[in-house]
Each structure stands twice: as C-alpha cells, then as structure tokens.
Structure 1
Amino acid sequence: MGIGAMSSPDQQQRLRALRETIADIERKPALAEARARVETQEGQFPNLAGGLLQEVFTDDLRNAGASLGFALAQARGLLTSRRVAIVYIQLAAEAQKLGMPYGPGLIHFGLDPAALVMVRPGSAAELLWAAEEALACRAVAGVVADISSRQKLLDFTSSRRLSLRAAEAGSSMFLLRYGQWREASAAHLRWHLLPSRSERKKYDERAPGGLRWHVRLERGSLVRQHAEWVLGWTENGISSFTPRNDDHPRQSTTLSGAVSSNLADRLPQAG
C-alpha cells in the first residue's frame, strides 16, 4: 500500500476509531477501580475517589466562580496527610478574565489557602505539561485547570494522557471549560453546571444566602447518566439539597433596555 493511500480520509477515520478503541481498553481498569470506590446515598451527590479526569462545562465566563467552587469542593475532600496540595492552573493571559481564588473565602469553606498551589503558564503546551507533572506528584490531591478559551492542543489525545496519568497516580484532574460546544475527550465524567437560586435567609428572604449550583451529568458511567443535583459548598464539603419550585438552572439573559426600579428594592437613588 502506498504512502498516499494511508492519508486518505477513510484511512484517517479508521485510525481515529482505532485510537479511541485503544483508549477505551486502556481506561477500563481505572474505570472499574473507580466505580468500585464510588459511595452513593439516595438523593445525595456521590463521594468520588481520586484518580479521575472530570470536565466541568458552564455556559458563560461569569459562572467561573461556581465551576471553581464545584471543583475545589471535590478536591478538598481528597486532601489527606500525604496528599496535602491542590494545584490550580490557568493561562497567564486569561488571569484577568477568570480572576483568582480568594484566600479568606476558601477559609470560610474549610480549605486552607496554604494547600493551594497556583501555576500560570504562558501557553497551552506548558499548561498541559504542568498538569501532567502535577498529577504525577504523590503529594497532590487534585489539579484544577481553568481554561476559558478553546485550545487546539486540548484534544482527545491530550485528554487521554491526562486521564491515564490521573488513574495511575490516584490524583484527580478537573478541567473547567466554558461555552456550549463539546469536543471528544477521554474524561471519565463530564458535568454541566449552572448557578441556581441561593439559599433563603431565615429572617430576610430578599438577602442572598448560601450559594447553590445545578449540576447535571452529561457523560460518564460511574454514576447514573443524566443525573441532576442542586448542590452547595459548606465547611463540611459538598451538600445536596432538595430542589425548590424556583430552583431551576439560570440561563444566560440579556437586558434589552432600562430595567424596573423594583430590581433595586429599597436602595437610595443617586441624583
């Protein structure tokens, strides 16, 4: 067979299918072990052990805090006397858009800021290299990569490398992504996360209460497919809540013009 024939679209398609088949075979032992370690209670969010690659998608950059909280809440539960660090990676050029974790806020949720190691590489290639190296470190409980833009290097092959490295080392990887597009990946779990209505204050229902997220499993076989939860992060970790009638996911909205003064209830108006 000539070299030219190997580059035909049909051959390329067969090669891609073969790579995906091989990736599935390589992931099966890790998936079987991880599935055996998942602890679930009826209606509660599962207690997921380390060694997993998780994708967390949300529609807008303004939901970045919710995605980061969801990932850090899980990573905090993986900290032990030996695994003492969580590595947070973001591209240096995206730091202004995404912001950074707030130390006093982390303390409020039971996470010591000293456990968080921040890395800001200059390129996607450096980010992926840093993520693999961090996953291989036995002192790391979890790696959170916050990526606001689409990256060509973050393809199926790179995600497969990350999933295998996470399964081998026993530390978890959380890829935070933004937008409604989806790419093929080797992630063990893919979540879709949106902010939900906050908890009601006991003495003032107009005041914002504890944060809430609406989380839906889009892809993965460790837990029931398309399962949904309303979650919150407390000092004791992730908590599941019974949805209220108004606990629906908050989709992106655009205000077309002037808004009613009722939205600023009882606030003084500037002259």
Structure 2
Amino acid sequence: MRESSHPLVGLRQRIARIAASGDFKSRPAADWLASGHASFDDALGGGLATGRVHEFFAADALDATSAAAFAALLALRSPGRAPLIWLRTADAARRAGHIYAPGIAELGGDPDRLLLVEAADPKALLACANDAVRCAGSAAVIVESWGRFPLLDLTAGRRLALGARDAGTTLLMLRLGAAPAPSVAETRWSVAAAASHALDADAPGAPAFNLELLRWRGGAAGARWRLDWNHDEQGFGQGAGDAALSGALLPLPARRALAAHGAEAA
C-alpha cells in the first residue's frame, strides 16, 4: 500500500498553514477528548484518550446519522481552531447524503474547521487514513466506512493505531452498517438515536444519543449513557430524568496504567 496519497499532499500543506496562523499549536496536547458530560468523562478517566483509535458502530441508516453527528460534535469540542479531517468514500455520500455546513454551525460547531476528503473506494480511503493520521496538528481524523471493510484487518488497523499514537492524532472510526469485530481500537461503541426532550412551546429538542460501551482496553464494557447536546455550552450533558450511567468499570488508576501501553489487537 502506498504510504502517501495525492489528495493528502495538499491537505498536509493546508493543515500546516492553519497551524501556523492559529493559537492551538502552542497549547500542550490534552490527554483526553472530553465530552462535557461529567459522569461520562469521569468514568473514562477524562474522556476519550487522544492519540488512540475509537470505533463507533451503528446498525441502520438513522443511527448512522446519529453516530456521525456524535463523532463530529465530539471532535469539534477540541480547543482552538485545529482542523477536523473527515474521510469518506463517494458511496458514503450517496448513502448518507452530503455533510451540511449550516447544520454544523446551527449546533454550535465551526464548519470552517472541517476538511472533507472523498475517496473513490475503500482502498483509497484506507490509504488516505494512513496519511491523515500522521498529519500532526489536526483536532481529530474521522474515517467513515459502510458495511464490511475487509481491507481493515488487524495489520492495517495496527498501522493506523501506531500512526495515530506517534502523531498524537485521535482517530474516530465510523463503522456504519457493520458488525463489531476484533480490532486495535482503544474503545468500541454502539451509537443510536435517542428521543429528544421537547423545548418550550413543544419545539424540537436538542440532538440526543444513546451510547453503549462495547469494549474498553482500560476497563470493563457494558456501561450505557444518554448524552444530550447543549448548544449554549457546546458540549454534551445529561437529559432531565435520565440515568447517567449503568455498568461496572475498573478503577481510574488501572485505566491510567493501561493507557501507557501501545496498541494491541483485541
């Protein structure tokens, strides 16, 4: 496989220009990508570990949209104006539609931070992903794939994980319409749409998500959360009357001890 893909050459240069013009480059790298939901972040030791691979699975088209929205909103919570790289195939655009920049702005995100790359096929998508995770200075890289992804075997996954770790890039894998399988991911999640709470005058409520932790290298799986997006706070919170957390987790010291280890296969 080629280590570099032509579309990413220009992308690297664009990220470098953004980094040179922004203030985020001088900030120390955070260890966690926090959601803003206190119990969710605390249970995971601060949020999703940066420089690691995290997988989000969705079973159908409706939940696929929710999984994509959750990953994007989470990534856009990173401080500063570091760009978010979103990689997808042209087939993904046909399945899920094009990403709508005004919609991101309506939710409180900054669409100017989003760099979208559409690859011709899964092979090109994987090549772009290998290049993108090595672009130091990005907020995160989202890789959107649909259905089975045979090219993403344990060897390919380990290559991505090592690239993400070395560059400090958080890699969010959107595995839509696919069944969970062994991988090198730090965490693996099932994401589904949740019913929003109506606002005053019965206006539509904020986006809401049901998350289940399917696998966590730092602790036990099985925990579930409901997270509601708060536009004003630009973070996730707990909906009124919802249980914050269920399921057993390892103590935080064990989580931090395991975080120092390199990526390994499940």
TM (norm. structure 1) is 0.69
Q: How far off is 1:100 after superposition? A: 2.2
Q: Which residue of 2 aligns with 1:250?
A: none
TM-score normalised by structure 2 residue count? 0.70
User: Could you tell me which residue of structure 2 aligns to residue 87 of structure 1?
Assistant: 85
Which residue number corresponds to residue 238 of structure 1?
235
Aligned position for 1:145: 143
Flag the 1:138–1:244 CA change in 2: closer, same or farther, 3 A.
same
Q: Which runs of 5+ in 2 are unaligned?
A: 1-28, 245-266
CA distance in 2, matches of 1:38, 1:196: 22
1:200: Cα distance to partner? 2.0
In structure 2, what is the Cα distance between the partners aligned to 1:52 and 1:79? Answer: 18
Shift of residue 241 of structure 1?
Answer: 1.0
SS in 2 for 1:136: coil
**How many pairs are equivalent?**
210
Q: How does 1:10-89 map to 2 (within 5 A)?
A: 43-45=39-41, 46-80=46-80, 84-89=82-87
- Distance in 2 of aligned mates of 1:245 and 1:42: 14
1:234 and 1:243, CA in 2 relative to 1: closer, same or farther beyond 3 A?
A: closer
Find the aligned partners of 1:78 and 1:111 in 2 and give their Cα distance: 11
Aligned to 1:43, the other structure's residue is in SS state: helix
| Cα distance in 1 for residues equivalent to 2:38 and 2:230 | 20
Matched residue, 2:94: 96
What SS does the aligned partner of 1:80 have? Answer: coil
CA-CA distance at 1:50 after TM superposition: 2.0
- State whether structure 2 residue 144 is matched by structure 1 residue 123: no
Q: 1:211 to 1:38 in 2, by over 3 A?
A: closer
**Distance 1:66-1:120 versus aligned 2 partners, 3 A rule:** same
Q: What is the alpha-carbon distance in structure 1 between the residues aligned to residue 33 and residue 136 of structure 2?
A: 21
Secondary structure class of the residue paired with 1:203: helix
The answer as to whether partners of 1:67 and 1:176 remain within 8 angstroms in 2 is yes
Alpha carbons of structure 1 residues 245 and 167: separation in structure 2 relative to 1, 3 Å: closer
The residue that corresponds to 1:252 in the other structure is none
One of 171, 174, 184 as aligned partner of 1:173: 171
Give the Cα separation in 2 of the matches to 1:94 and 1:194: 18
Identity of aligned residues (%): 28
Aligned mates of 1:42, 1:234 — CA distance in 2? 13
Q: Matched residues in 2 for 1:117 and 1:181: separation?
A: 28
1:133 Cα deviation from its structure 2 partner:
1.1
198 and 138 in structure 1: CA distance in 2 versus 1, 3 angstrom threshold: same
SS in structure 2 at match of 1:88:
strand
Query: Contact 1:194/1:213 (CA < 8 Å) preserved in 2?
Result: yes
Which residue identity lines up with residue 215 of structure 1 in the other structure? L
RMSD: 2.8
Q: Secondary structure at the match of 1:77?
A: coil
Find 2:189's aligned residue among 187, 191, 204.
191
Cross-structure match for 2:212:
216
C-alpha deviation, 1:230, in angstroms: 0.7
Answer whether contact 1:43 1:240 (CA < 8 A) is retained. no
Q: Map Cα deviations across residues 5-63 of structure 1 (whole Å, 9 max, x no partner).
A: xxxxxxxxxxxxxxxxxxxxxxxxxxxxx9x7587986344433421211000110222
Secondary structure at 2:94's aligned position in 1? Answer: helix
The alpha carbon displacement at 1:91 in A equals 0.8
Structure with bigger gyration radius: 1
Q: Find the residue that maps to 2:140 and give its secondary structure.
A: strand
**In the superposition, relative to structure 1, how do residues 77 and 126 fare at CA in structure 2: closer, same or farther (>3 Å)?**
same
Q: Structure 2: how far apart are the matches of 1:245 and 1:195?
A: 15
